[in-house]
Structure 1
Amino acid sequence: MGEGPSYDDIQRISAFILMRTEHRPKLGIVCGSGLGGLGELVEDANVIPYNEIPMFPASTVPGHMGKLVFGILKGKTVVLMRGRFHNYEGYPMWKTTIPIRVMKALGVQTLFLTNAAGGLNPNFNVGDIMIIRDHIDLPGLTGECVLRGANDERFGPRFLATVDTYDRELSELAKSAATELGLHEILREGTYIMIGGPTFETVAESKLLRNFGGDAVGMSTVAESIVGRHMGMRVFGMSLITDMCSLSYDEKKCTTHQDVLAIGEKRAGDLQKLASLIVEKMTL
């Protein structure tokens, strides 16, 4: 695909997938670290492993299963990514978002992104759920924007406005769902900042990211949001705060990937209930 996904290749990938499932999804959901259990709730499921899809990347991260799940969730026809791709795995940024472009080619109009993130806002707590109000694309600001390279207008415009990337109506719907489930006390709203990874942040880096305006930090999601926006999709995102970043040398916290997965598993039930109710309330 050269320096970016070719439009024709994306169409070929989607045509292959459509032959493997009778479902025609309007909603695409990306499941973050430890959050793939949502796939167990999908009814009449068709499962397609990534390694069976031509030109599709492979997920190499523990906790990311590497499957597309098609089916019915709360009355909506959906496709779930159980496992996403990251720049730190060695993939160029554009390649991490091939599935998002394929989703659009499959007919998906709304993109629901989830992730595990580190808390930068000192008012947050481990186990909180943050609605993504805005993002800071740190790789993009330093020359690694996912839209870098030749642009095909059939995907979207050369110069993309990213103001209001995250759909306000869906954010309000999520708040309503959280209140209905009694989760409003752990619900936050804030700015997600993306770093390249795979290293977790030093104290100095955490302070810098907080001063930039970040409320939570992670290694995914932003490129997917931008590509979704590039193709005219509605985008909604939320983060599970799985650890708190160290903002002081007196309180250094050494985060591990196992910690992230453990909190994801502990909060999985609440997150799945919230995501399910959001999907149920959506108008597609």
Structure 2
Amino acid sequence: MELLDKIIETKQYLLAKIQQAPSIGLVLGSGLGVLADQISNPVIIPYHEIPHFPLSTVEGHAGQLVIGQLSGRTVAAMQGRFHYYEGHSLAAVTYPIRVMKAIGVQQIIVTNAAGGIDPAFHPGDLMLIQDHINMTGQNPLIGPHIETFGVRFPDMSEAYSKTLITLAKETAAKHQIHVVEGVYAGMPGPSYETPAEIRLLGQLGASAVGMSTVPEVITARHAGIEVLGISCISNLAAGISRFALTHEEVMETTEKSKGKFLRLVKEIVAAM
């Protein structure tokens, strides 16, 4: 079955289950899926029940789509995402973004847990993503061009919406939530980076590093979706941290940061 046919089938399946199409999408990273629990009147659909959806295998990712009301808006939240390092193709990793566009999503908030490279950052900081550096060596748009999805050579000069970044900064200031800003470097994973790689990324202008987000943002922009990205700085990157890096540390830090993360995203959604 062709990709477009699969998306149409998934779209029809989802729209048959909901009363109102969502206009805002949420992609929730490691330890951040708790936001989906705040959605009222939720329709909860496990990924394994959705036609053509891949399955999430990472600890901290619930693996379900939650559609309902958040801060007065209809949202579709991915409670767990897919990663290239799990063995998925980038077409599979970004499939949910294509589906979100098909069911009505116009704006998307992409979140992740990331390692801090900027020496001014601290674990628990929330970073508004200004831009990204694709260090994966891959691009989700490689392959046959499907005109329905977007142009062959999409512009990435504003991958992250300046309007939404300004909105997020104003919202954070209004509610006295400390945020930082920076550039996210996307790596393929699953191994954490070496100290030498972190030094290189810092020299390239990266403020934080992670193993997700970049393929989804490229796909969202290709589809004409406006993007806001938020990283939870879950640890200091290799060579900066004095300790060995573990996924447990990532989960512990996001757990401690969830209160301000929830407040920030809910207030941003209300203002979108």
TM-score by length of 1: 0.93
Q: 2:80 aligns with which of 78, 83, 88?
A: 83
User: Matches of 2:121 and 2:132 in 1, distance apart?
Assistant: 17
User: Matches of 1:247 and 1:66 in 2, distance apart?
Assistant: 32
Letter in 2 for 1:71: G
User: Matches of 2:214 and 2:153 in 1, distance apart?
Assistant: 17
User: Matches of 2:209 and 2:269 in 1, distance apart?
Assistant: 25
Q: Report runs of 4+ in structure 1 exceeding 6 Å deviation.
A: none
Corresponding position of 2:212 = 220
Q: Secondary structure at the match of 2:109?
A: strand
Q: Deviations over 1:223-249 (max 9, x none)?
A: 11000000101011010000001336x
Q: 1:236 aligns with which of 225, 228, 235?
A: 228
Q: Is the 8 A contact 1:242 1:259 kept in 2?
A: yes
Letter in 2 for 1:138: M
Letter in 2 for 1:273: R
Q: Secondary structure at the match of 2:122?
A: coil
Q: 1:253 aligns with which of 239, 243, 254?
A: 243
Q: Secondary structure at the match of 2:256?
A: helix
- Residue 7 of structure 1: CA displacement? 1.3
Q: Is the 8 A contact 1:23 1:70 kept in 2?
A: no
Asked if 1:9 corresponds to 2:6, the answer is yes
User: Matches of 1:247 and 1:254 in 2, distance apart?
Assistant: 10
Corresponding position of 1:105 = 102
User: Matches of 1:244 and 1:236 in 2, distance apart?
Assistant: 23
Q: Is the 8 A contact 2:107 2:227 kept in 1?
A: yes
Q: Is the 8 A contact 2:238 2:245 kept in 1?
A: no
Structure 1: any 5+ residue segments left out of the alignment? none
Q: 1:207 aligns with which of 199, 203, 213?
A: 199
Q: Secondary structure at the match of 2:180?
A: strand
- Residue 56 of structure 1: CA displacement? 0.6
Structure 2: any 5+ residue segments left out of the alignment? none
Corresponding position of 1:24 = 21
Q: Secondary structure at the match of 1:88?
A: helix
Corresponding position of 1:262 = 252
Corresponding position of 1:163 = 157
Corresponding position of 2:184 = 192
User: Matches of 1:205 and 1:79 in 2, distance apart?
Assistant: 35
- Residue 211 of structure 1: CA displacement? 1.1
Asked if 1:151 corresponds to 2:145, the answer is yes
Corresponding position of 1:34 = 31
- Residue 117 of structure 1: CA displacement? 0.2
Q: Is the 8 A contact 2:39 2:70 kept in 1?
A: yes
User: Matches of 2:243 and 2:152 in 1, distance apart?
Assistant: 42
Letter in 2 for 1:196: P
Q: Deviations over 1:12-47 (max 9, x none)?
A: 111111112223100000011000111111111110
Q: Is the 8 A contact 1:203 1:252 kept in 2?
A: no
User: Matches of 2:204 and 2:73 in 1, distance apart?
Assistant: 38
Corresponding position of 1:136 = 133
- Residue 9 of structure 1: CA displacement? 1.2
Q: Is the 8 A contact 1:245 1:253 kept in 2?
A: no
- Residue 252 of structure 1: CA displacement? 4.0
> For this pair of structures, how many residues does the alignment match?
272
Letter in 1 for 2:234: T
Q: Is the 8 A contact 1:138 1:194 kept in 2?
A: yes
User: Matches of 2:235 and 2:45 in 1, distance apart?
Assistant: 32
